[in-house]
Structure 1
Amino acid sequence: MSEKISPKDITVLSATMLIPLWAKAVEYGRPDAILHDKEAARMLDMIDYDFTPFAKVKASQVGCCGRARILDEMAQRFIDEHPDAVVVQLGSGLDARYERMGRPNVTAWYDLDLPEVIDVRRMLLPESSNRYLGISMFDEAWTDTVAAHGKPVLLIIEGVLMYFDEAQVRSVFEMVQRKLPGTQVAMDALAQKMVGRAQQHDALKKMNETPPEFRWGVRDANDVLKLAPGSRLIEEIHLSSLCAPHYPFILRLIYKTKWGRENLDVRLMRIQL
């Protein structure tokens, strides 16, 4: 493709999808990469956007890749347990998880995001045997599409929920419990101490636009479970358990402490609603 694609028509919130895309593309070229995503590298070259301000961003570059890898592994464990699964990525952005995981032979795989994001996604990464849904995750219509399969469901929610307040996060869980009972969710959760501090985030503060604010975070897994009564925790992993050796020196020291892990670390969880 000779003409590059401009994401200028997407919202500021949706523009945050360019950060993990950049992070994965950079990681792909490293001999010690913790994530191998050739689609990210390919897509980055197709986008008319100045990524140079991110050149010195270290922690989030590693963190985005570690987060994606851990959630890939959680998703794979679910698929191993439920080969006939229906998998849905909410707020999929430009993530190529379906391709990265080898196009799993599940009943159905849906990548869901706002219509303007799906338009850009289709230009960069056309559907293969997966399907795209251009709809808000708060719209119940997508749950009807998923429920029609009558199969076990996994939702993957990555890099999304921190931009919504607790009531909105609760509403998503309540909707899923009502429309898709028994669904499992693989998700990340920001530390509560980071709420209101998006301007301090090493990558977000480099964006051309004023970044959206962090509005929801957790102290521990119980803060997630309380939003969905009757839910249970299946597994929980701290992001630093994978990424700490790759972080800048000062962060490596912080995450060696109990305080750092409890108060600053991102948590990756798989829960059953």
Structure 2
Amino acid sequence: MHQWQPKLGLIQETLLLTLHARALDARLPSPILGDTHSADLADTIDYDFRKLKVKPNLVVTTALRAKKLDDVVRAYVAAHPGCVVLDLGCGLDTRMVRCDPPPNVDWYDIDFPEVVHLRAEHLPGRSHLVGADLTTSGWLTALPGDRPAMIVAEGLLPFMPGDSFQRMTRELTCHFPSGELAINGYTRFAAWAMKYHPTIKALGIKAAQGFDDAHEPESWGAGLELIEEQILTRAPDVARFPQPLRALTRLTARSTTLSRQGARVLRYRF
């Protein structure tokens, strides 16, 4: 098998962490996401994934949040034929393949130019690729603004400095007539703790952005309205977690406060 070496900056290299987690889930006897495309892609990369030190907790939570976000996208696309889907900070995710939208949906995979270049070479498909630094303005001009939009931002919030995520959200909701925003909502503690994951710490990335109250984005001036908070410790899929992680997760699920420090999926309409 021909292998290739990814040439990425520090922040961009974190995409390999989530790719590896999805690949490991796909190889489990009872996977949660079952993304075999990610597993096949990871096998083509000449990279020592062992140094990422991915633990079982990260594997199952990464797979579960991706599954729940996929479900949100599928539901929106089914209810809004001909809509636009934006996957912000898409990395090397295969979400479009998993969701398999109909041809009348325009799907945009958006990330740094070097990441988009890798996608074009190693993840060919029918999505539109947009290379952009999401902390800057101007990249939205490449997108249609006359249709409803489903916007997904998985794992992006902690890596955008200052108020750049809020500013980007305001620009997005102004660009499209209506839509939904779906994110995995990091609390402030979860974003702070993320800095101490071995891989994030080794790369020297200062991940710190988060919010505790799921209603806080409603104050960003982006016209957002919270419509759902999914606390993933209470998802039926926890039954597939390996022990003792399954028992610990179910114990955590008894406390809403503790559960919110883990994975949660937030949906907003605008």
TM-score (normalizing by structure 2): 0.89
Q: Match of 1:196?
A: 192
Residues 108, 56 of structure 1: CA spacing in aligned structure 2 closer, same or farther, 3 A cutoff?
Answer: closer
Residues 236, 210 of structure 1: CA spacing in aligned structure 2 closer, same or farther, 3 A cutoff?
Answer: same
Q: Match of 1:261?
A: 259
What amino acid is aligned across from residue 53 of structure 1 in structure 2?
A: K
CA drift at 1:90:
0.8
Residues 68, 211 of structure 1: CA spacing in aligned structure 2 closer, same or farther, 3 A cutoff?
Answer: farther
Q: Deviations over 1:228-271 (max 9, x none)?
A: 35321122211222354416244443333233124x13321121
Q: Match of 1:38?
A: 36
CA drift at 1:6:
1.3
Q: Match of 1:216?
A: 209
Q: Match of 1:143?
A: 140
Q: Structure 2: 5+ residue runs without aligned partners?
A: none
CA drift at 1:54:
4.5
RMSD, aligned α-carbons:
2.2
Q: Distance in 2 between matches of 1:229 and 1:208?
A: 32
What amino acid is aligned across from residue 212 of structure 2 in structure 1?
A: R
Among 209, 230, 234, the alignment partner of 1:241 is 234
Among 127, 130, 134, the alignment partner of 1:133 is 130
DSSP-derived class of the 2:86 partner: strand
What amino acid is aligned across from residue 145 of structure 1 in structure 2?
A: A
Among 56, 70, 74, the alignment partner of 1:76 is 74
DSSP-derived class of the 2:203 partner: coil
Q: Structure 1: 5+ residue runs without aligned partners?
A: none
Q: Distance in 2 between matches of 1:169 and 1:224?
A: 10
Q: Match of 1:231?
A: 224
DSSP-derived class of the 1:178 partner: helix
The percent identity for this pair of structures is 25
Q: Match of 1:115?
A: 113
Among 135, 153, 157, the alignment partner of 1:157 is 153
Q: Deviations over 1:150-188 (max 9, x none)?
A: 211111110111112451111111211222242321111
Among 79, 82, 102, the alignment partner of 1:104 is 102
Among 168, 171, 183, the alignment partner of 1:172 is 168
Q: Distance in 1 between matches of 2:174 and 2:256?
A: 37
DSSP-derived class of the 1:6 partner: coil
Residues 56, 235 of structure 1: CA spacing in aligned structure 2 closer, same or farther, 3 A cutoff?
Answer: closer
Give the length in aligned residue pairs: 265
Residues 23, 143 of structure 1: CA spacing in aligned structure 2 closer, same or farther, 3 A cutoff?
Answer: same
Q: Distance in 1 between matches of 2:268 and 2:81?
A: 18
DSSP-derived class of the 1:87 partner: strand
Residues 66, 239 of structure 1: 8 Å contact kept: yes
DSSP-derived class of the 1:62 partner: helix
Q: Match of 1:15?
A: 13
Q: Write the mapping of 1:30-69 to structure 2, written as runs, cut at 5 A.
A: 30-54=28-52, 57-69=55-67
What amino acid is aligned across from residue 39 of structure 2 in structure 1?
A: A
DSSP-derived class of the 1:73 partner: helix
Residues 86, 107 of structure 1: 8 Å contact kept: yes
TM-score (normalizing by structure 1): 0.88
